[in-house]
Amino acid sequence: MRTLPLWAASFLAPLLAASLLPPPLAAARAIAPQEGAKSRTPQAKLSRNDFDFGTVVAGTAPSADLTIENVGDAPLNITRVGVTCECAKLHLSTTTRLNVPIDSGDEGRVALTLEPGDVATLRMTVDTSKLPGGLFEKKLLVVCNDPKNGAISLPFKVMVERALPPAAPGEAHGEHDGHDHAAESGGREVAGRAAAPPVDPALAPKLEADLYKAEFGTVYRGEVLKKTFELKNNGKSDLTLQEIRNTCSCAASKLTIDGRTFVEDELRDTKRLGILSPGETAELEVELKTAAATTPGKDQLLSKAIRVFSNDPARPVLTLTVEANMTSPFTVEPATIDFGIVRKGGGGKRSATIWSDQLGEFKVTSAKSPNPELMTVSLARVATEPGAPPTWRIDAEVSAAAPMGAFGSHVELAVDHERVKEILIPVHFSVEPNVTFTDNKPDRGELLDFDVMVPGTSKTVELTIENGDPTTPYLLRSAALGNVRPAPDGFVAEVVEVEKGMKYVVKLTAPATLTKASYFQGDLVLTADHPDVPTRKVRFRGWFKAAEKSSQ
């Protein structure tokens, strides 16, 4: 399932300024709260300081993981995560929710809380098919409530290698005689590939455009903006157009060269587009689909680049830019259709409404799901008071047959208006098993919380396991302890079978002998016969209250 593009520059500007803060505490040590401390603070510990994907072949999608651990003694709230590039996709995993896509359509909001000792994993995947050859560098930003590292900036880079297109008749790449002509003549790396031997500038091809930046002014989100650029060979020899790349999926292109037209899909897959003799021209039509741009509902400057690769030795990559100041003339409530957790086989329904007091009379003609096998949508006009703007309701329903996993998609609305033609509403849902795990503080998400204990006393907390599907029994086999700090000695896990295959209560007891360690944590590891959740880890943690000092 396709996820939406990543963050817009307008939102990242203030965070990039915040990135001048000290580097992340990738090597920070865990610090337990000190006895007698008057305040508790969260602390983010990251597993790495940067993402360096090295050298990769164009068209591949390398990925890497970053773990974020709360090593403080108060909840760590992560509010936003994003990348200053639309070539990267981010997915976040915790012990309770796996592979959840981070959607820039909601400004990268994640609303994740990590209790002390909790860990989340962030996976970044880079689509190198959208990148030019050569070194590409951007930043990953993590915004949280760590008082020392509230806006963490991690650089990432990748060297993209692109193959040199096959030589046209009469062209030579200088490699067939066994000599390294590039080295002999001072050749250099251009856009990630070895350059051809130097060409006499007076005889070289030269790519130029009639316009390098198209500015559309103020536009509505949902408009389709079009501009045709003329590309011309003003050199003295044949110019080969090798490939054309967009920096985002919302800018499509169509190229007409030498009597042939390449549409968007063909441009993406074709590495040799055609040849312009001296004086000849080609037309490149750019279509900017603002409905698919980032940050719905926000006014922002939208700037996208289209890169044209050729054998012009002076400028092997020509960049064209389209810009618009985009505003949203409509209101979608809620801005994102979020189903949250959907139980396997249960499906789910959610609704959103849309209206505008700026567009005048407009009509939403259809609502479509790009993944009808997972989600269906319907559309209805809502009755309103006289004089109120026209309002429409969109009903979305997740299929009971949807497989387990986290999904990010959207609803596509077709609009009948002279300017706005399409509206996209982001959609999120996570399909999880019918087995639920309820701890002693359900609002904190599968965390057995002993809270503050009295020295010299033990304490027991309970985890309730319930199976919502009687056709698939959940048979609990064991409840063990794992990763207990400072030590597992004295902890006891007891399983109470309330109804076999349907309901269990696990009682976990912390001993009274841990008073020398003011803070403890660990995992309750559950093993069962069940196709969807054969194992489950539930975090637990607690503190011992510091003994009061006697006054003299």
Model pLDDT for residues 13-36, shown as the tens digit of each residue: 333 333 333 333 333 323 333 444
**Around Cβ 396, how many Cβ atoms within 10 Å?**
22
Q: How far is CA 180 from CA 50, 184, 194, in A?
A: 35, 6, 10
pLDDT of residue 429: 87
pLDDT of residue 538: 92
Question: How many separate helices (H) and strands (E) can be counted in the chain?
Answer: 3, 38
274, 268 Cβ separation under 8 angstroms:
no
Q: How far is CA 202 from CA 241, 314, 316, in A?
A: 20, 11, 16
Nearest to 224, CA basis, from 200, 250, 244, 255: 250
Percentage of residues in the chain having pLDDT higher than 90: 33
SS (H, E, C) 301-342: EEEEEEEEEECCCCCCEEEEEEEEEEECCCEEECCCEEEEEE
Separation of alpha carbons 139 and 454, rounded Å: 46
Percentage of residues in the chain having pLDDT higher than 70: 79
Nearest to 301, CA basis, from 6, 14, 4, 11: 11
Mean pLDDT of 418-429: 89
User: What is the second-level CATH architecture of the domain 331-432?
Assistant: Sandwich (2.60)
pLDDT of residue 283: 95
Mean pLDDT of 64-79: 89
pLDDT in tens, 344-354: 988 999 999 99
Asked if the model's pLDDT at residue 534 lies above 90, the reply is yes
Cα–Cα–Cα angle for 126, 132, 133, rounded to 5 degrees = 100
325: its two tokens: 């100041």
Is the N-terminal amide bond of 370 cis, ω within 30° of 0? no
pLDDT bin (cut points 50, 70, 90) of residue 509 is very high
pLDDT bin (cut points 50, 70, 90) of residue 10 is very low
pLDDT of residue 272: 87
pLDDT of residue 34: 40
pLDDT of residue 233: 95
pLDDT of residue 270: 81
pLDDT of residue 171: 41
Mean pLDDT of 279-301: 78
Asked if the model's pLDDT at residue 370 lies above 80, the reply is yes
pLDDT bin (cut points 50, 70, 90) of residue 515 is low
Q: How far is CA 12 from CA 80, 146, 247, 496, in A?
A: 11, 19, 17, 51
pLDDT of residue 26: 31
Cα–Cα–Cα angle for 160, 166, 169, rounded to 5 degrees = 150
Mean pLDDT of 200-228: 90
pLDDT bin (cut points 50, 70, 90) of residue 176 is very low
Report the DSSP beta bridge partners of residue 518.
Answer: none
pLDDT bin (cut points 50, 70, 90) of residue 118 is confident
pLDDT in tens, 438-476: 988 766 567 899 988 888 889 999 999 999 999 999 999
pLDDT of residue 17: 35
359: its two tokens: 């567009």
310 burial type by CB count under 10 A (0-12 exposed, 13-18 middle, 19+ buried): buried
Separation of alpha carbons 327 and 317, rounded Å: 31
**Around Cβ 284, how many Cβ atoms within 10 Å?**
22
Mean pLDDT, the chain, as a whole number? 80
Same fold for the pair 331-432 and 435-544: yes
Instruction: Specify the 3-state DSSP secondary structure of 150.
Output: coil
Is the N-terminal amide bond of 316 cis, ω within 30° of 0? no
pLDDT of residue 298: 55
Quote the strand ranges of 198-259, DSSP E: 207-209, 213-220, 224-233, 239-246, 251-257
Asked if the model's pLDDT at residue 320 lies above 80, the reply is yes
Mean pLDDT of 502-518: 85
Separation of alpha carbons 517 and 145, rounded Å: 26
pLDDT bin (cut points 50, 70, 90) of residue 311 is very high
Domain 9-161 class, CATH top level: mainly beta
pLDDT of residue 200: 73
Which letter does DSSP use for residue 250 in this model?
A: T
pLDDT of residue 519: 82
Mean pLDDT of 202-211: 92
Separation of alpha carbons 463 and 447, rounded Å: 9
Mean pLDDT of 176-205: 49
User: Would you kindly state where each structural domain of the chain is located, as residue ranges?
Assistant: 9-161, 204-325, 331-432, 435-544
217 burial type by CB count under 10 A (0-12 exposed, 13-18 middle, 19+ buried): exposed
Instruction: Specify the 3-state DSSP secondary structure of 137.
Output: strand
206, 239 Cβ separation under 8 angstroms:
yes
User: What is the second-level CATH architecture of the domain 204-325?
Assistant: Sandwich (2.60)
pLDDT in tens, 372-390: 999 999 999 998 888 888 8
Nearest to 339, CA basis, from 155, 100, 17: 100
pLDDT of residue 3: 36
Taking the domain 435-544, which CATH number applies? 2.60.40.10
Asked if the model's pLDDT at residue 170 lies above 50, the reply is no
pLDDT bin (cut points 50, 70, 90) of residue 269 is confident
Ramachandran assignment for 250, one of left (phi > 0), alpha (psi -120 to 50 degrees), beta (any other): alpha
Q: Which stretch of 132-141, 150-159, 204-213, 543-552 has the lowest confidence by average pLDDT?
A: 543-552
137, 157 Cβ separation under 8 angstroms:
yes
